[in-house]
Amino acid sequence: MNNKKDLILVLDFGSQYTQLIARRIRELRVYSLIEPCTVSTDKIKKIAPKGIILSGGPNSVYEKNAPMPDREILNLNTPILGICYGMQAITHLFKGGIKHTSTREYGRAEMYIDNHHDLFFTLPEKITSWMSHGDTITRLPEGAKKLSHTQQTPYAAFSIPKKKIYGVQFHPEVAHTEYGLQIISNFVFRICGCFPSWQVKNFIQETIAKIRRQAGKDRVICGLSGGIDSSVTALLIHKAIGKNLTCIFVNNGLLRKNEPRQVRKIFKEHFRINLKYVNAAKDFLSKLKGITDPEQKRKIIGYEFIRIFENEAKKIKNVKFLGQGTLYPDVIESVPFFDGPTAKIKSHHNVGGLPKKMKLKLIEPLRELFKDEVREIGKELGLPEKILYRHPFPGPGLAVRILGEIDREKLALIKEVDAKIEKIIKKHGLYKNIWQAFAVLLPLKSVGVMGDKRTYEYVAAVRAVNSLDGMTADWTKLPYKVLEELSSEIINKTQGVNRVVFDISSKPPATIEWE
Ligand code: XMP
């Protein structure tokens, strides 16, 4: 069966929720794609979606350069759902009225359903919806019917039945909207008539066959970090071409306690993957000596990684391909429109995209996937829980968690503290509910007293955050009991740390990592 037979196209007008819309559709087992709102109608015709969703966005339709969909898409006879700004853009194009209000409707709003026919089929009379808008529709577009309202918004949803066009002022894609997934499902299945054909199992089979065709008898190399993306990439390529894949695992000395051993054990012994292990800890540490600036640390680590990876890769003969764990968000974020004004805050170093000089062709089996789908595939391929659910870890590793200069003593300390945090969080059954929990070693010592002796030792910070995608994060409200245990376990059992602090900053304005 064709996995992507029916697809929904999401046009991005700059909303922070665009990817979430696309993910929700995939949850319904229908393939979804994201394109910038400037995409041409010709391209849309080639994609041949069964439905189109116009995302929200930060603009107001009356602004000078407000983005608008190509008018022609309104005549494609393809159902369209406009969300928030998308709804206002439709209203504008169909000559409805929009007013800029001084009071923004933001957050939860009780919404009353006026029409249960298709978009709101099976919904109760009243639901909680999530709103985030300044502009409000005051007059329906030509040929439109009202579908719902709130106290502040007379037209919270409408449809133009003749054209199969729908608009909703609220965000059905966010979890705060009750029945949000049901609304999206009504659009995808009832209105667009999609068939749920997107299945991870089919994806695996198709992808393995594709890699086999692509690689032929040539050799492929792949950087393995032990993270979920590179692990799943390696497993898929390995399933396709077996011994013709060589993975290179560079131990930079900045990994978590026991991580190098675990990764080798899993991939070499369990999956029998051709794995080249390079212990380059010394090289990295010597290059980092005396370096305190976070950006410089990141650059040095990135550069050193390429050098070592290339060096090792050269020793393998007949390599024509490089396997990379690029995900769909990386692909769409590299298109200029999607980049938007997001400033570069930290230069992220990933294994992906590095050895450009090597002139290798790329194999990127995860290019179409979101993180949760990669996890699903990993599970299907037998990847152990340890890797599947391991908290995200930055490319530059512990180097950005030891503030200031790095040395062996600090590395040994942070590994111990970090392992203790993981152990205690797991013991309390909190690990899977937390996005990341880890240790940060501060570049300062403080006075303490142990037994009858004065101590002068390092301060460690515990960082724990909840997040959906790492873009924003809340600090985790760990119970006092857990904090108490963390503090006493770390201080009593790590020689060299006599004080523990807990980080209560959210992102923004802080970031998750300290450097
Ligand atoms: P920040 O600190 O920017 O982190 O709030 C957001 C998420 O990204 C991870 N992170 C990185 N991941 N290479 C990576 O692969 C990096 O250089 C890097 N820096 C931060 C961080 O752990 C968090 O999950």
Question: How large is the average pLDDT for residues 259-274?
Answer: 95
Q: What is the signed CA dihedral for 311, 312, 315, 320, rounded to 10 degrees?
A: -90
Question: How large is the average pLDDT for residues 194-202?
Answer: 92
CA–CA dist 132, 135 (Å, integer): 10
Q: What is the signed CA dihedral for 91, 33, 21, 137, rounded to 10 degrees?
A: 0
**pLDDT of 356 over the 90 cut:** no
Range with the poorest average pLDDT among 98-112, 116-130, 236-250, 278-292: 98-112
Instruction: State whether residue 267 is helix, strand or coil.
Output: helix
The pLDDT value recorded for residue 348 is: 52
CA–CA dist 169, 112 (Å, integer): 13
- Which sequence spans correspond to the domains of the chain? 7-191, 200-388, 401-502
Is residue 409 within 8 Å of residue 441, measured between CB atoms? Answer: no
Phi, psi of 127 (to 5 degrees): -135, 165
Whose C-alpha lies nearest to ligand 1, atom 22? 394
Is residue 256 within 8 Å of residue 419, measured between CB atoms? Answer: yes
β 436-450/453-466 pair status: antiparallel
Question: How large is the average pLDDT for residues 336-341?
Answer: 48
Is residue 393 within 8 Å of residue 353, measured between CB atoms? Answer: no
Map tokens 């880890």 to a residue.
438
The pLDDT value recorded for residue 342 is: 35
294 Cβ below 6 A of ligand 1: no
**Per-residue model confidence as pLDDT tens digits over 357-411:** 778 999 999 999 999 999 999 999 999 999 999 999 999 999 999 999 999 999 9
**264: number of Cβ within 10 Å:** 16
Question: Above pLDDT 90, what percent of the chain?
Answer: 84
Measured in angstroms, how far is the CA atom of residue 15 from the centroid of ligand 1?
22
The pLDDT value recorded for residue 96 is: 94
CA–CA dist 77, 490 (Å, integer): 63
Q: Determine the residue of 254, 513, 515 to mutate for testing ligand 1's pocket, defined as the one with the most ligand atoms within 8 A of the Cβ atom.
A: 513
User: Matching CATH topology for 200-388 and 401-502?
Assistant: no
Measured in angstroms, how far is the CA atom of residue 393 from the centroid of ligand 1?
7
CA atoms within 13 A on the CB side of 60: 15
Range with the poorest average pLDDT among 124-138, 271-285, 348-362, 408-422: 348-362
**Per-residue model confidence as pLDDT tens digits over 17-73:** 999 999 999 999 999 999 999 999 999 999 999 999 999 998 999 888 899 999 999
CA–CA dist 287, 301 (Å, integer): 8
Ligand 1, atom nearest to 436 Cα: 24
Ligand 1, atom nearest to 393 Cα: 22
The pLDDT value recorded for residue 341 is: 37
The pLDDT value recorded for residue 1 is: 57
CA–CA dist 119, 159 (Å, integer): 9
Active site residues: 84, 171, 173
Using alpha carbons, list the distances in angstroms from residue 67 to 38, 61, 228, 252, 354.
Answer: 8, 8, 37, 46, 34
Measured in angstroms, how far is the CA atom of residue 513 from the centroid of ligand 1?
7
What one-character-per-residue DSSP string does 400-419 give? Answer: GTB-S---HHHHHHHHHHHH
**pLDDT of 200 over the 60 cut:** yes
CA–CA dist 250, 168 (Å, integer): 49
57 Cβ below 6 A of ligand 1: no
The pLDDT value recorded for residue 337 is: 55
The pLDDT value recorded for residue 98 is: 94
**Quick one: tokens of 307?**
């050098």
Measured in angstroms, how far is the CA atom of residue 392 from the centroid of ligand 1?
8
According to DSSP, the residues that pair with 109 across neighbouring strands are 129
CATH number of this structure's domain 7-191:
3.40.50.880
Measured in angstroms, how far is the CA atom of residue 416 from the centroid of ligand 1?
21
Ligand 1, atom nearest to 349 Cα: 17
365 Cβ below 6 A of ligand 1: no
CA atoms within 13 A on the CB side of 110: 4
Q: What is the Cα 472 distance to its own chain's centre?
A: 11
**Model pTM score:** 0.87
138 Cβ below 6 A of ligand 1: no
CA–CA dist 462, 500 (Å, integer): 7
Look over the chain and give the mean of its residue pLDDT values, rounded to a whole number: 93
Q: Determine the residue of 255, 512, 514, 515 to mutate for testing ligand 1's pocket, defined as the one with the most ligand atoms within 8 A of the Cβ atom.
A: 512
Question: What angle is formed at CA 341 by the lines to CA 337 and CA 342, rounded to 5 degrees?
Answer: 105
Ligand 1, atom nearest to 511 Cα: 5
Whose C-alpha lies nearest to ligand 1, atom 21? 394
**Predicted confidence band at 340 (pLDDT cuts at 50, 70, 90)?**
very low
**Predicted confidence band at 333 (pLDDT cuts at 50, 70, 90)?**
confident
**Predicted confidence band at 339 (pLDDT cuts at 50, 70, 90)?**
very low
Whose C-alpha lies nearest to ligand 1, atom 14? 394
The pLDDT value recorded for residue 351 is: 42
The matching CATH number, chosen from 3.40.50.620, 3.40.50.720, 1.20.140.10, 3.30.565.10, for 200-388 is 3.40.50.620
Q: Give the residue, 211 or 5, on which the prediction is more confident.
A: 211
Q: What angle in degrees, to the nearest 10, is found between the helix axes of 408-427 and 480-493? A: 140
391 Cβ below 6 A of ligand 1: no
Is residue 467 within 8 Å of residue 474, measured between CB atoms? Answer: yes
Per-position b or e across 301-312, b if 16+ CB within 10 A of its CB? bbebbbebbeeb
**Per-residue model confidence as pLDDT tens digits over 134-151:** 899 999 999 999 999 999
**Per-residue model confidence as pLDDT tens digits over 307-317:** 999 999 999 98
The matching CATH number, chosen from 3.30.300.10, 3.40.50.300, 3.40.50.1260, 3.30.420.60, for 401-502 is 3.30.300.10
78 Cβ below 6 A of ligand 1: no
**pLDDT of 319 over the 90 cut:** yes
Whose C-alpha lies nearest to ligand 1, atom 20? 394
**pLDDT of 434 over the 50 cut:** yes
The pLDDT value recorded for residue 501 is: 98
Ligand 1, atom nearest to 514 Cα: 2
Measured in angstroms, how far is the CA atom of residue 297 from the centroid of ligand 1?
14
Measured in angstroms, how far is the CA atom of residue 400 from the centroid of ligand 1?
10
Ligand 1, atom nearest to 473 Cα: 5
Is residue 30 within 8 Å of residue 196, measured between CB atoms? Answer: yes
**Predicted confidence band at 352 (pLDDT cuts at 50, 70, 90)?**
very low
